[in-house]
Amino acid sequence: MRKTSDRSEEAQTIFRNHGGILRMREALEFGITRTTLYSMFDSGLIERLHRGLYRLTDLPSLGNPDLVAVSGKAPNAIICLISALAFHEITTHIPHEVQIGRSRHTRPPRITYPPTGTFYFSEQAITSGVEKHLIDGTEVRIFSAAKTVADCFKYRNKIGLNVAVEALKMFHESRRLIPNEIMKFAAVCRVERVIRPYLGTLL
């Protein structure tokens, strides 16, 4: 009969072979029993990012743990608005929830932690400006900086016009802003007339 330590070592190897993060369902499929998983959790070998998602504790600290956790729970969702602004470093606002974009024809994912806000986009808007970033071994889908700025003007009544205007200014100051690109996404979001005056003051 194998020792608990042997089962734990095997389980840690399985975790490492899959980037150090596994869902409960995946762990069971790979042969890790619930007993072993709970034992590893109790002994501090793994931590719970949120319900059903576990990570080895001896891995380097996560740079964006909330984004990774949400992407693990809702892989088809796209990080948007203030959460995306924070990722692209063009906001001074601290997101108090992970904001994700979804198609209007889908149901919101059931995520108990971290706090998550869901925003619905048209089919054209949900497929425009999507980038894939590898964060701590997990592929995370995030709207580009230019698309996010346009989205913030689109949702200005929900997140605040000041957030959108600040993002546009910081994007310009970062020297990454391309006017034609901004206006392309503004057309997708149908906010050309809203953005143009603010963009004009920067150019």
Cβ-count burial 72-84 (b if 16+ within 10 Å, e if not): bbbeebbbbbbbb
Name the strand (E) or helix (H) holding 21: strand 21-23
Distance of CA 57 to the CA centre of its chain: 21
Q: What percent of the chain has pLDDT over 90?
A: 61
Q: Which residues contact 157 (CB under 8 A, 6 or more apart)?
A: none
CB 38 within 8 A of CB 32: no
Interacting residues of 106 by C-beta distance below 8 A, sequence separation 6+: 76
Q: Which domain holds residue 178?
A: 65-200
**Model confidence at 195: pLDDT above 90:** yes
Give residue 115's pLDDT band: very low, low, confident or very high (50, 70, 90): confident
Asked if residue 50 and residue 86 are part of one domain, the reply reads no
Are both 93 and 183 inside the same structural domain?
A: yes
Reported as a pLDDT band with limits 50, 70 and 90, residue 162 is very high
What confidence category does residue 61 fall into, taking pLDDT thresholds of 50, 70 and 90? low
More confident residue, 27 or 107: 27
Number of domains in the chain: 2
Q: How many CB atoms lie within 10 A of CB 147?
A: 26
161 and 91 inside one domain: yes
Instruction: Judge if 79 and 46 occupy the same domain.
Output: no
Q: Kindly report which listed range (46-50, 131-135, 139-143) carries the lowest average pLDDT score.
A: 46-50
Say if residue 51 is in the same domain as residue 69.
Answer: no
DSSP state of 108: P
Confidence of residue 63 (pLDDT cuts 50, 70, 90): low
Beta bridge partners of residue 118, listed in sequence order: 100
Same domain (yes/no): 76, 135 = yes
Q: Mind listing the pLDDT tens digit for each residue in 67-83?
A: 988 888 888 899 999 99
Domain identity same for 147 and 184: yes
pLDDT 10s digits, 30-46:
999 999 999 999 999 99
pLDDT at position 112 over 80: no
Whether 79 and 139 share a structural domain: yes
